Amino acid sequence: MATSPLDSLHAGQWCKLICGASYQHIPSIRSLAVVYTLAGVDCIDVAADPAIIATVREAMDVAQG
């Protein structure tokens, strides 16, 4: 099992969740970020919007416990 995004990349198993710049439905993005963080995603790509970024960071904190 990979322990970091770099390990995942070297193992050919790097995974990215793409929410995209135009997708800004905060409740859905929060849910996706929690689930994908729990699943071990290496990267979450979101809009460069402070509210979206804060939502994803909070969701990742919740998932990581």
Number of domains composing the chain? 1
pLDDT at 47 over 50: yes
Residue 45 tokens read as 């790509």
The span from the CA of 58 to the CA of 40, in Å, is 16
pLDDT at 1 over 60: no
15-38 pLDDT, tens digit each: 999 988 888 899 999 999 999 999
pLDDT score for 5:
87
pLDDT score for 27:
95
The span from the CA of 6 to the CA of 22, in Å, is 28
The span from the CA of 19 to the CA of 36, in Å, is 11
Q: Please tell me whether the overall predicted TM-score, pTM, comes out greater than 0.85 for this model.
A: no
Domain span at 44 = 5-64
